Chains A and B, each alone.
Chain A
């Protein structure tokens, strides 16, 4: 059964069809969210919210388009929105000398089981650069497809990808230089 057929079934109230869609894209969703947010727990929360958001928005899905790309766009937008909110909030609190520790949204500490994920090359990149790099390297997307996901022009997507690759190369060179 195709994604579009499953969506049609969801729209007539067949919840099991949405479970099928979730199972199909669960791994994809986590991979893209982990790469954008560079934190596994945040990525799980983002995916959970995005699946709910997607379900509520199914009525707006165009069956002629790819469900995967539609969902990727929704999820990456959600992740970028989370980062923007957190950055604004931290910036707002940073203006004041006194910071109530309880009011500061601290990133959740990674549990030991997640330590194997290595984010050292991702964190220096901007969220959009991480998204572009992930879609290009892991999903084989072209700049035009990346642009669809990021909601920008292909040229802008190309710039994000280019910058990501330049930064990554610099980081890799630095890593080689510090090796004994």
Chain B
């Protein structure tokens, strides 16, 4: 049943300073509300547990994409549509743009934001595997200032995040490695468009003299959080023999902890993830 609106409150602070004042005055009471593509669904279903929200969509400091020689810093409120329109991101971070293109419909891509996707902390989200592959860092900002943390350490458990109640995800930074990555992204869902993933795979590898010099593998929907598969990566850096794909598939299964749920089951998710790994490796 729909939520009873009078139980909820929403304010629209003019800028970050005003948002931080509200958040500091009542610690833990106010949560940021971005494009609404997740929170409005919960509201409609009567499942939105939190009561007080700060609408942040119009806060200029959270928009924009800044490019420097070493990094690109993406304002947390960039929508999936804005990510796809940025030519530098398309050239250097194609997995992120592909994830943006395969998340929801165009109407949802026009509202859903990268920061919101991270803060929603779904293990089935489609952009986080790409962020893990690119060694993303998050800027968390509060009244006390800003700090950067590696995205790989941000999700500490199912829907758990290394973030204080008064902090906002303000920017997402990706290092420009300059490497000639071979990149692979594939999302497997019930249908091609708009489905939530059963398994989502992002991979990148640097090849030199026919050998893997560097390799990154990350998965969504196979563990309580999105997962960077570091043991599989380490194995692939070492192994060269004919059984390396099979060995890597076994290691991948050991790193995952998929569940049976209404979208899929653990056995299917394991097989699909292993097959996607093989498809990625065979394309190198």
A and B held together in a complex: no
